[in-house]
Amino acid sequence: MKALVYHGPGKKTLEDRSMPQIAAPADAVVKIVKTTICGTDLHILKGDVPTCAPGRILGHEGIGVVDKVGGAVTAFHVGDRVIVSCISSCGKCDYCRRGMYSHCVNGGWILGNKIDGTQAEYVRIPFADTSLYHIPAGADEDALVMLSDILPTGFECGVLNGKVQPGSTIAIVGAGPIGLAALLTAQFYSPAEIIMVDMDDNRLQWSSRFGATTVINNKDGKAVEKIMEMTGGRGVDTAIEAVGVPASFITCEDIVAPGGIIANIGVHGVKADLHLERLWDRNIAITTRLVDTVTTPMLLKTVRSHRIDPKQLITHHFKFDKIMDAYNTFGAAAKTNALKVLIEA
């Protein structure tokens, strides 16, 4: 089968690999129908994610059809159409029993990281019963690809951890697919103000269409000043960091209001300064989270009922044999205006 393989920082190839096999009774093999590329794949390619070794097939998002099941799999059968979760969970360990699937001692975020991922014709999914989701008949499958990672990530790490509330003022720093997923799902809670910050005018235009009340281009470095001015010097109740670089985290530190929360989503490869000399007396909280995907079933219902439409995030379509072009398009988003690129079998 064809697969997109990581060969160390800056290096990837589309190559022939052997078909994945059932290695444990709880495994399933899924034939990938649609997959996509995540900002995290770009972090891996930058060398930010040391757990991902050269030789790894990348990808942790996608939908497909169950091709083989191990003897212990009871909830899925050959031919079932499924959403692959970016998090594999055994469902039995202490963390899984607490709903922290991302810290599953037998799984967690392993797909396209510690085990081969979804940017291939087939993928082996461990703990299939608790790591796959059935696709309801008649569902829009393009939209459901967004449920593997970005919607639960924006919602769990940004909106839930950031305790977005009716009437609150929130800022989302970073209007990439993850920041936009936070923007879509924040609106479940009717915040009064949603401020989006980015450097890319195209992404800010999308943000306005998706419900942002104010968009700020931070090219001039004045986002903090503008947010403090528009909030009467108070700042925001929730500052969601959706970039993964020190500058964006520091922006969140600078705009969080007393009593507020900084909800970090970004994957950070280097240290960021924590300005406790300014924050110690502000009664704030800082949260971090690797997405658990515990909200996937709930989000699936909201997509099915058209409360949110994540399909809007898909800007480009590629056939699987053009996945290198898909990477070039996604990697040059500022030029290509890409948000999510869909890669189809």
Ligand X SMILES: NC(=O)c1ccc[n+]([C@@H]2O[C@H](COP(=O)([O-])OP(=O)(O)OC[C@H]3O[C@@H](n4cnc5c(N)ncnc54)[C@H](O)[C@@H]3O)[C@@H](O)[C@H]2O)c1
What does the binding site for Zn ion look like in residue numbers (CB under 5 A)? Answer: 38, 40, 90, 93, 96, 104, 149
Instruction: State the DSSP code for 159.
Output: I
Asked if residues 182 and 94 have their Cβ atoms less than 8 Å apart, the reply is no
Distance CA 81, CA 55 (A): 28
Q: Which does 96 bind (CB under 5 to 8 A by kind): ligand X, Zn ion, none?
A: Zn ion
Question: What φ, ψ does residue 74 adopt, rounded to 5°?
Answer: -115, -25
If phi > 0 it is left, if psi is from -120 to 50 it is alpha, else beta; for residue 306 that is left
Q: Which does 157 bind (CB under 5 to 8 A by kind): ligand X, Zn ion, none?
A: ligand X
Q: Which of 64, 70, 107, 176 binds ligand X (CB under 6 A)?
A: 176
- Fill in the per-residue mask, 280 to 299: x = in contact with ligand X (CB under 6 A), - = not in contact: ---------xxx--------
Q: Is beta strand 62-69 parallel, antiparallel or unpaired with respect to 81-84?
A: antiparallel
Closest distance between ligand X and the C-beta of residue 326, in Å? 14
Nearer to ligand X, 43 or 134 (CB): 43
Closest distance between ligand X and the C-beta of residue 25, in Å? 29
Per DSSP (E only), the strands in the chain are 2-6, 12-16, 28-36, 62-69, 81-84, 122-125, 132-134, 169-173, 193-198, 214-217, 236-241, 256-264, 285-288, 314-319, 340-344
Nearer to ligand X, 208 or 283 (CB): 208
Q: Judged by CB under 6 A, which stretch of 129-137, 205-213, 236-244, 309-317 contacts ligand X?
A: 236-244
Q: Which of 197, 262, 313, 341 binds ligand X (CB under 6 A)?
A: 197
Closest distance between Zn ion and the C-beta of residue 102, in Å? 10
Q: Which does 93 bind (CB under 5 to 8 A by kind): ligand X, Zn ion, none?
A: Zn ion
Side chain identity, residue 135: I
Work out whether 62 is an interface residue with ligand X (CB under 6 A).
Answer: no
Closest distance between ligand X and the C-beta of residue 256, in Å? 15
Nearer to ligand X, 243 or 257 (CB): 243
Q: Which does 215 bind (CB under 5 to 8 A by kind): ligand X, Zn ion, none?
A: none
Closest distance between ligand X and the C-beta of residue 15, in Å? 25
Angle between helices 223-230 and 246-255 (to 10 degrees): 20
Distance CA 156, CA 295 (A): 7
Q: Which of 108, 174, 235, 310 binds ligand X (CB under 6 A)?
A: 174
Closest distance between ligand X and the C-beta of residue 197, in Å? 5
- Fill in the per-residue mask, 151 to 170: x = in contact with ligand X (CB under 6 A), - = not in contact: --x---x-------------
Neighbours of 67 (CB within 10 A): 19
Distance CA 307, CA 341 (A): 22
Instruction: State the DSSP code for 75.
Output: S
Look up residue 145 and give its two tokens.
């690809």
Q: Which does 248 bind (CB under 5 to 8 A by kind): Zn ion, ligand X, none?
A: ligand X
Closest distance between ligand X and the C-beta of residue 14, in Å? 21
| Residue number with the smallest Cβ distance to ligand X | 176
What's the burial of 292, exposed, middle or buried (CB within 10 Å: 0-12/13-18/19+)? buried
Question: What φ, ψ does residue 101 adopt, rounded to 5°?
Answer: -60, -30
Q: Which does 20 bind (CB under 5 to 8 A by kind): ligand X, Zn ion, none?
A: none
Helix (H, G, I), strand (E, B) or coil at 249: helix
Interacting residues with ligand X (CB under 6 A):
38-40, 43, 149, 153, 157, 173-179, 197-200, 203, 218, 242-245, 247-248, 251, 265-267, 289-291, 333
